[in-house]
Amino acid sequence: MHFSSLLLAAISVLPVFGQLSGKVGPLTTHAAKSAKKTCNVLSYGAKADKSTDLGPALLSAFTACKSGGTVVVPAGDFAIKTWVTFEGGKAWALQLDGTIYRTTGTGGGNMLFVRNANDFEMFSSTGKGAIQGNGYDDHKSGKRDGARLLRVEQTTNFSVHDIILVDAPMFHVVISTSTNGEVYNMAIRGGDEGGLDGIDVWGTNIWVHDVMVTNKDECVTVKSPSKNILVENIYCNSSGGCAIGSLGADTAISSVVYKNIYTWKSNQMMMIKSNGGSGYVEDVVFENFIGHGNAYSLDVDQYWSSMTAVAGNGVQLSNITFNNWKGTLANGAQRGPVKVACADKAPCTDITITDLAMWTETGSKQTYSCRSGYGSGFCLKKGTGASYVAVTSTQTAAPTGYSAVSMKDDLKTAFGTASSIPIPTMPASFYPNTPPVSKLAGQ
């Protein structure tokens, strides 16, 4: 049996694990951690006055609980102007039930940086814990290289869940070179411009699910190197859309599944983006995608003009399946529902597009375009072979079965960059007619 068939069969049998290679999440519960020791930041000098710097108290509480215990930021409004690096903790948790506000005028880096941890959990017990980055204070003057709200690096057996992240000066969440992780039940809301990524992840055996992202850059994006990544129940609600990339030299990405992805008024539903480079992306499935009002839909672009070309013949894309895509797109004549532009010196192989039915919201025609891509579906050429120039076809009748449901929380207007973005409540669902895998905190 072909690998992609085996992969789809495995997903249907094991929907929880999908393309994961084993257990994800912390080794012990936060209840067990709290029973061992609890370090409330109020006991270390913090004040819920939206003025006193939380940073020193947060670091002191971590130092006291880093060998086993729970650091608690209780309900209330806290200010932070000193960034905190949580280095080397084991069997500890960070319970964020209050709201942390970035003090305007502070610098770059990582506001909260979890590094070299094992058996770690960050969560809100109420589902109302939040970080307000006040990024608009930077963005209104053109500054976009400020702080990331949360970074988890070289960490294993961890989870981040049931928290809300708003208006990062730069990125919202970065999961870097980590293993056996789970990120879920989150609402991320950023400004309407590039460089304000929702979730960027690279590592091994990581599950990202039940997340809503509003911004104008990455929704949930897998970067290199990565293996055994499962991304599901994602709500890109006026966003840049999901992606794999940007891909450069020595790319190494394999065994990735994106499933149950809903995308509203975004740059794309899914993009694989590169320009030159080397290495591979292989054994990937994108299934159950619903889109409305997006610029691009299925977009493989190995000549991505927003990226400076990298030396190399191009990243080799192989054994990639797109299955069950439905909905509408903004303007199918300008940007059709299928664009596969593969590297001429490294043509794509074994690309499969099945059960894709989408139709334009503007006009009465749409185009499909393929370049140097081999496989089955639409304008792809069968078999394998040399490069070929772009082949374009035009469709003038709506395909059967393109209609798809919308989500009630779809934003009518994106948030700008010149004023504060309000802290949202957690949506009840992140994909149509699909409850969250894990119950939302506080409900």
Q: How confident is the model at residue 9 (pLDDT cuts 50, 70, 90)?
A: very low
Which of 210, 217, 283, 350 is the catalytic position? 217
CA–CA distance, 268 with 337 (Å, rounded to integer)? 10
Average pLDDT of the chain is 95
Q: Kindly tell me if the per-residue pLDDT of 17 is higher than 50.
A: no
Span 173-190, pLDDT tens digits: 999 999 999 999 999 999
Other residues' Cβ atoms within 10 Å of the Cβ of residue 27: 16
Q: What is the DSSP string of 221-283?
A: EE-SSEEEEEEEEEEEESSS-EEEEEE-TTEEEEEEEEEEEEEES-S-SEEEEEBB--EEEEE
Contact between residue 326 and residue 367 where contact means Cβ atoms under 8 Å apart: no
Query: In this predicted structure, what is the pLDDT of residue 2?
Result: 42
Q: What is the mean pLDDT of residues 211-224?
A: 97
Residue 163, pLDDT > 80, answer yes
AA identity, residue 430:
F
pTM (2 decimals)?
0.95
> DSSP readout, 109-139?
EEEEEEES-EEEEEE-SSS--EEE--THHHH
Percent of all residues in the chain with a pLDDT value above 90, rounded to a whole number = 93
Asked whether residue 290 carries a pLDDT value surpassing 90, the answer given is yes
Identify the pLDDT of residue 18: 59
What's the average model confidence in pLDDT over 24-36?
98
What pLDDT does 19 receive? 83
Question: What's the rounded Cα separation, in Å, for the pair 34 and 74?
Answer: 14
Q: What is the pLDDT of residues 326-385, one digit of tens each?
A: 999 999 999 999 999 999 999 999 999 999 999 999 999 999 999 999 999 999 999 999
Asked if residue 310 lies in contact with residue 282, where contact means CB atoms within 8 angstroms, the answer is: no
Taking only the tens place, the pLDDT of each residue in 88-116 is: 999 999 999 999 999 977 889 999 999 99
Domains of the chain with CATH codes: 19-215 (2.160.20.10), 239-410 (2.160.20.10)
Q: What's the pLDDT at 154?
A: 98
Span 294-322, pLDDT tens digits: 999 999 999 999 999 999 999 999 999 99
State yes or no: pLDDT of 12 exceeds 90: no
- The set of residues, in sequence order, having a beta carbon less than 8 Å from that of 260 and lying 6+ positions away, is 232, 233, 234, 288, 431, 434
Nearest to 159 by CA among 184, 126, 125, 182: 182
Is 217 known to be catalytic? yes
Distance of alpha carbon 305 from alpha carbon 242, whole angstroms:
18
Q: Is the pLDDT of residue 6 over 60?
A: no
pLDDT beyond 80 at 7: no
Q: Which of 30, 161, 209, 292 is catalytic?
A: 292
- Residue 141: per-residue pLDDT: 87
